Amino acid sequence: MTSSTARHRTRRTLTRGILVGHGTDAFERAAQRLMTWQVHRDSGLAVDASAPRAAPGVTVRLTLRLGPLRVVAPCRVVGVCAEATERGFTYETLPGHPEDGVEHFRVSLGPDGTVRAVVHAESRPASALARAGGPVTLLLQRRQTDRYLRALRGRAGGGVSPPG
């Protein structure tokens, strides 16, 4: 087994979705907020991005405060989706991030006008702190993902609460 195969097998996968709202206006609001880092800010992260919008090559440094502890998570956008009924981006972690992996953020407008958001992450612990955290690290990742989804729902036009 190659080391890349071993790495792939040790990655955790997390996918969460939410109903954001209904209609083109809700879709456009959600997409705008997602692509301009506002969802990340509203989820409780400090955001320092190299550009105001997510685009390939843009780097972003996200900082989460956990009491007196600050967790810094640098990432680079590696892909963008800018379709008529789907918007979003993918970023990969950079050295210094507690995890090694990728995260995908998507907002979609269904044929019936339903607006949905999905966050999908594939990662493995990269830092000693993340490895030592074990199940707590996964719990924090789920909590942050749900915060992203609540931030999208809260300002884009109603919906239902995410799981957890």
112 is written with which tokens? 């019936």
Cβ atoms of residues 101 and 121 within 8 Å: yes
Q: Residue 1: which pLDDT band, with cuts at 50, 70 and 90?
A: very low
pLDDT in the model for residue 158: 45
**What pLDDT score was predicted for residue 134?**
73
Tokens (6 digits) for 40 = 């990340």
Residue 163 gets which letter from DSSP?
P
pLDDT at 127: 76
Question: If you search the block for the tokens 């989820």, which residue do you land on?
Answer: 43
One-letter amino acid at 111 equals P
Cβ atoms of 6 and 141 closer than 8 Å: no
Higher pLDDT among residues 160 and 144, named by residue: 144
pLDDT of 44-54, one tens digit each? 999 999 999 99
Whether residue 138 is predicted with pLDDT greater than 90 in this model: the reply is no
**Which segments of the chain are extended strands (E)?**
12-22, 46-49, 59-66, 69-82, 86-93, 99-109, 114-125
pLDDT tens for 48-89 read 999 999 999 999 999 998 889 898 999 999 999 999 999 999
The CATH fold assigned to 11-156 is: Alpha-D-Glucose-1,6-Bisphosphate; Chain A, domain 4 (3.30.530)
Which residues on neighbouring strands pair with residue 118, listed in sequence order?
17, 106
Average pLDDT value over all residues in the chain: 87
- The residue type of 44 is G
User: What confidence score (pLDDT) does residue 129 get?
Assistant: 72
User: Residue 38 — pLDDT band, cuts 50, 70, 90?
Assistant: very high
Residue ranges per structural domain of the chain: 11-156
Enter the pTM of the model: 0.85
pLDDT in tens, 95-137: 999 899 999 999 999 999 999 999 999 988 887 777 777 777 7
Name the phi and psi angles at 135, rounded to 5. -60, -30
